[in-house]
Amino acid sequence: MSRKPLIAGNWKMNLNHLEAIALVQKIAFSLPEKYYAKVDVTVIPPFTDIRSVQTLVDGDKLLLTYGAQDLAPQDSGAYTGDVSGPMLAKLGCTYVVVGHSERREYHAETDEVVNKKVRAAHKHGISPILCVGEQLEVREAGGHIEHTTAQLIAGLKGLKAEQVQNTVIAYEPVWAIGTGRVATPADAEEVCAALRAALAEKYGAEVAEQVRVLYGGSVKSGNIADLVKCDNVDGALVGGASLDGDEFTKLCALAAGGPLP
């Protein structure tokens, strides 16, 4: 089966709500509607921008979707600073990033916490983009497949098959994030294929064939075409290059198979 590629622009802690409106307008203006038949495009702004993005997407009936960068495991309560699944669902979020390496590192998120968040997302009808990826020392020791597969299985614990099917996996080698050091397409394919094989083993081939597995780490318009040619790479989680409207548009068009608009 052929999976529709997904390009997700993770803005991280960049752009205020006014800049968010300008960037979404730029992407909407630059990427003609016909491309959306071949690629799903989503933007993942900071929480403070989401309401503005929602208003724009709904008002102008844009074909791109949007999501959030994190969510709390709980639905509500005394959790100062956190944002819950019901809040994000009300804002129309299609996706929520869970377990990004920056959250695992700076907020000490364990696989157990990540799993609670994945479950919280599904509980509220939001597709989690579950991030996995190894540190440089793990890769150098040859443990990258074992490491990422363990993160995957732990992150999906307790999910039903149809929830797994509606989960997006993002393989992001930590050594390739924001460093300009992109994994080769062969590196990306090796791990993405192994993750799909692990899904097939646990949930069956039919489920595994449906799951989109993205690559992330220094993805740009210059390398996206070769990455999406890989059998098991179904798009990208894009950081830096998603902040530039022209570059992101180009990248989405190339993921759709071109030509450039």
Ligand X SMILES: O=C[C@H](O)COP(=O)(O)O
Active site residues: 100, 172
Contact 3, 212 (CB under 8 A): yes
Q: Has 123 been labeled as part of a binding site?
A: no
Contact 60, 28 (CB under 8 A): yes
Q: Has 258 been labeled as part of a binding site?
A: no
Does position 85 bind ligand X by CB under 6 A?
A: no
Query: Hey, which residues between 217 and 236 contact ligand X (CB under 6 A)?
Result: 217-219
| Nearer Cβ to ligand X (203/245) | 245
Does position 178 bind ligand X by CB under 6 A?
A: yes
DSSP letter string, 166-199: T-EEEE--GGGSSSS-PPPHHHHHHHHHHHHHHH
Which of these, 81, 110, 89, lies nearest to 98 by C-alpha position?
110
Contact 38, 72 (CB under 8 A): no
Strands 213-216 and 40-44, bridge-based pairing: unpaired
Q: Has 178 been labeled as part of a binding site?
A: yes
Chain residue whose CB lies nearest ligand X: 239
Question: Exposed (0-12), middle (13-18) or buried (19+): which is 1, by Cβ within 10 Å?
Answer: exposed
| Nearer Cβ to ligand X (10/221) | 10
Rounded Cα gap, residues 85 and 77, in angstroms: 12
Tokens of 202: 């646990």
Q: How many residues bind ligand X (CB under 6 A)?
A: 14
Contact 253, 3 (CB under 8 A): no
| Nearer Cβ to ligand X (73/216) | 216
Rounded Cα gap, residues 193 and 209, in angstroms: 11
| Nearer Cβ to ligand X (109/203) | 109
- Closest approach, Cβ 44 to ligand X, in A, equals 8
Task: Find the binder of ligand X among 31, 237, 252, 253 (CB under 6 A).
Answer: 237
Query: Hey, which residues between 86 and 115 contact ligand X (CB under 6 A)?
Result: 100
Helices and strands, number each (H, E), in the chain: 12, 8
Tokens of 32: 């003609």
Task: Find the binder of ligand X among 145, 192, 238, 254 (CB under 6 A).
Answer: 238
Does position 172 bind ligand X by CB under 6 A?
A: yes
Rounded Cα gap, residues 51 and 28, in angstroms: 17
- Closest approach, Cβ 60 to ligand X, in A, equals 26
- Closest approach, Cβ 180 to ligand X, in A, equals 8
What x/- string results for residues 8 through 37 when contact with ligand X is judged by CB under 6 A?
--x---------------------------
Does position 216 bind ligand X by CB under 6 A?
A: yes
Does position 177 bind ligand X by CB under 6 A?
A: yes
- Closest approach, Cβ 65 to ligand X, in A, equals 16
In the complex, which residues of this chain contact ligand X (CB under 6 A)? Answer: 10, 100, 172, 177-178, 216-219, 237-241
The binding site for substrate comprises 10-12, 178, 218, 239-240
